[in-house]
């Protein structure tokens, strides 16, 4: 089925470890973004991309890196995980003409111990 | 600064009862407003959206929302709740920042439905 695919669904990391959360979409969407969801705070924008090779920071970018080498993929990297990064991470995408019509993935639940 | 407030963290209703979830926004221009639903372990699904025109918006699953500019509100309603409506609901406003159309979310309202 067409959509946004996130892997893994669950992950436990030790403080200081690194990992990459994967996000792939097969809808040829130009715009992609990463959000984190924390209790009582809704979803907050981490990084976004308006096309291959173009990325920028959102509201809470510290501790995260992104790159966009292809239209389909938008991985999120944690270089040195911290307990404050324990959260549920959502990837979303939309077409250029889709304005605010985002499609969300099913999320990655990350725990940093 | 743009913001979204959902005053109710948790709401419990009986199956078959009516439902209203509150949402207030702060935005300088005409807002683009959304309601999303998140079922346990799932991503976010768009219920409905308001861009312009008729202030009463119909969505999926029998939900509707009314935009009231004078009250800066966009409350979500359903006349008769089903047990499958138990989920978390997020109100969001669209905001343009640095050439990017992003969504600003409220903290969410968790809905429980009693049989």
pLDDT tens digits, one per residue of A25-35: 999 999 999 99
**Under DSSP, is residue B86 helix (H, G, I), strand (E, B) or coil?**
coil
Closest-CA residue of B relative to A51 is B100
CB contact at 8 A, A98 and B46: no
Of A98-102, A109-113, B21-25, B76-80, the poorest mean pLDDT is in A98-102
Chain A CB within 8 Å of residue B98 CB: yes
List of chain B residues whose C-beta atoms are within 8 Å of the C-beta of residue A5? none
Average of per-residue pLDDT across B61-87: 96
Interchain pair B107, A48: CB under 8 A: no
Q: What is the pLDDT of residue B2?
A: 82
Q: What CA–CA distance (Å, rounded) separates B2 from B108?
A: 16
Instruction: For B107, name the nearest residue in chain A, comparing CA atoms only.
Output: A42
More confident residue, A96 or B50: B50
Instruction: Evaluate whether B11 touches B22 at the Cβ level (below 8 Å).
Output: no
Which of B41, B44, B101 lies at the smallest CB-CB distance from A99?
B101
- pLDDT attached to residue A101: 77
Which distant-in-sequence residues (6+ apart) come within 8 Å of A81 by Cβ?
A13, A14, A15, A16, A17, A18, A19, A110, A112
Q: How are beta strands A31-38 and A87-94 bridged, if at all?
A: antiparallel
Q: What are φ and ψ of residue A84, in 5° steps?
A: -65, -10
Q: Do B94 and A41 touch (CB under 8 A)?
A: no
B15 to chain A nearest CA, in Å? Answer: 25
Contacts of A58 in chain B (CB under 8 A): 102
pLDDT surpasses 70 at A45: yes
CB contact under 8 A, B32 and A105: no
With contact defined as beta carbons under 8 Å apart, do A61 and A76 qualify? no
Of A98 and A110, more confident: A110
Report the alpha-carbon distance of residue A60 to residue B50 in Å, rounded. Answer: 27
- Beta-carbon separation of A50 and B99 below 8 A: yes
Q: What is the rounded distance in angstroms from the CA atom of residue B14 to the CA atom of residue B16?
A: 6
A93/A4 Cα distance (integer angstroms): 7
Average pLDDT over residues B2-29: 94
Give me the pLDDT at residue A34, please: 97
Q: Which pLDDT score, from 0 to 100, does residue B29 have?
A: 77
Per-residue pLDDT reduced to its tens digit, A68-102: 999 999 999 999 999 999 999 999 998 876 566 78
Task: Verify whether the Cβ–Cβ distance A42 to B108 is below 8 Å.
Answer: yes
Structure tokens at B83: 């047990």
Distance CA B22, CA A39 (A): 18
């Amino acid at each position: 089925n067409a959509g946004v695919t996130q892997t893994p669904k669950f992950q436990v990391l030790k403080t200081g470890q690194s990992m990459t959360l994967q996000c792939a979409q097969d809808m040829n969407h130009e715009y992609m973004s990463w959000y984190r969801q924390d209790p009582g705070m809704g979803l907050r924008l981490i990084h976004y991309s308006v096309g291959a090779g173009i990325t920028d920071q959102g509201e809470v970018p510290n501790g995260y890196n992104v790159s966009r080498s292809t239209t389909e993929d938008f991985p999120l990297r944690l270089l040195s995980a911290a307990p404050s990064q324990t959260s549920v991470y959502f990837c979303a995408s939309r077409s250029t003409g889709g304005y605010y019509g985002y499609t969300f993935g099913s999320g990655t639940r990350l725990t940093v111990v | 600064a743009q913001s979204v407030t959902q005053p109710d963290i948790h709401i419990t209703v009986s199956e078959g009862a009516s439902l209203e979830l509150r949402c207030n926004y702060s935005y300088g221009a005409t807002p683009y407003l959304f309601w999303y639903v998140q079922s346990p372990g799932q991503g976010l699904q768009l219920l409905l959206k308001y861009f312009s025109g008729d202030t009463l918006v119909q969505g999926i699953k029998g939900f509707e929302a009314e935009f009231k500019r004078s009250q800066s509100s966009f409350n979500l309603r359903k006349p008769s709740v089903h047990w499958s409506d138990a989920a978390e609901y997020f109100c969001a406003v669209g905001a343009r920042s640095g050439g990017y159309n992003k969504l600003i979310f409220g903290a969410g309202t968790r809905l429980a439905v009693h049989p």
